[in-house]
Structure 1
Amino acid sequence: MEIRKATINDLNTILQLFREARAFMAESGNPDQWGTAYPPKDLLINDIKEGNSYVCEKDGEIVGTFYFKKGEEPTYRKIYEGGWINELPYGIIHRITSKQGTKGVATFCIGWCYDQCGSIRIDTHRQNIPMQRTLKKNGFTRCGVIYLEDGSERIAYQK
């Protein structure tokens, strides 16, 4: 597998990956985290334009996508029911998903992100059990709870 920055030409494939992810999340008992329309197309276009959107390819086919950025995440400034492992510079992963039926994509993408800076923070919905398992499997520590700008609660992890 290989990681590269997403381009606007990848947008339709990225949108399809998110449609599949929303359906999977709903079937897995997590219908609320991304609902029926998240992430919106405009956000994904902005991620691409800012250079923070990535795709994972296997044999020339896009099998995953995610947002990655080195730097501070404003919603991570306050953490409740725990604390971050450290306050060293970190990278942020958001909106990670993979093509249904593929194996190991999330682990590969997370590993690539970790290799970029050696400290990663990520959050997920309390109902997103598959992602919580993936994070635990990849050596992340559950650090506490953060709240998004809209007040939604998320479980925060760091490695």
Structure 2
Amino acid sequence: MEFRKSIKSDVSRIMEIIRQAQEYFKLQGINQWQNNYPNKEVINNDIDNGQSYVILKDNNIVATTVVSFKEEKSYENIIDGKWITNDKYGVIHRIAVDSNYKGLGLSHEIIKYSEELCLSNNIHSIRVDTHEENIPMQNLLKKNNFKYCGIIFLEDGAKRIAFEKTI
């Protein structure tokens, strides 16, 4: 498997995987990624900012994510808890795995690669937020030693539960 930065020619394949995730959330009754988000514009912006990544298996894109080192405005105010650290941090967003490759541990691989990226940038903390109904993501985070830290609100007012891990 290969973990690499996304390029513009990856966008249509990334969007296929995102659409599968949107459909999965819809079928599970999870109100996440249901209002034309993320869309091509968001993915192109992620690529332009150098923070979009894909996993390839046999030269086929099978998973996607974003790893950012920019401070998140929505992480400034956390309620019902607190962050583990106040240091610089990396952020993982938009983990999505092709439906045909679920159950192979690719989400765990994304977290592992993200940790390596952070360490190579001398960053020893990773933060993630997710929808409170997204139990599979919460379980993934807990299995990878992320700790629940509290509640944050996105810029559009959406409530998310926040996790952090020191590495």
TM bucket (normalised to shorter chain) is over 0.9
Amino acid at match of 1:78: N
* 1:29 partnered with 2:29: yes
* 1:110 partnered with 2:111: yes
Partner SS for 2:44: helix
Partner SS for 1:101: helix
| TM-superposition CA deviations, 1:61-117 (whole Å, max 9, x none) | 111001111131111011000000111111011111011132211110111111222
Structure 2: distance between partners of 1:2 and 1:119: 23
Query: Once superposed, what is the RMSD of the aligned Cα atoms?
Result: 1.0
Q: Which residue of 2 aligns with 1:9?
A: 9
| TM-superposition CA deviations, 1:119-155 (whole Å, max 9, x none) | 1000000110110111111110000000000110000
TM-superposed deviation, 1:36: 4.7
* 1:96 partnered with 2:95: yes
TM-superposed deviation, 1:37: 1.9
TM-superposed deviation, 1:28: 2.0
Counterpart of 2:136 (choices 118, 130, 134) is 130
Structure 1: distance between partners of 2:81 and 2:62: 34
Q: Which residue of 2 aligns with 1:87?
A: 86
Amino acid at match of 1:114: E
When normalised by structure 1's length, the TM-score is 0.95
For 1:23-102, list aligned pairs within 5 A.
Answer: 23-30=23-30, 32-102=31-101
| TM-superposition CA deviations, 1:3-44 (whole Å, max 9, x none) | 1010000011001000100011112231x1110521021111
Q: Which residue of 2 aligns with 1:121?
A: 127
Structure 2: distance between partners of 1:57 and 1:145: 33
Identity value in percent: 44
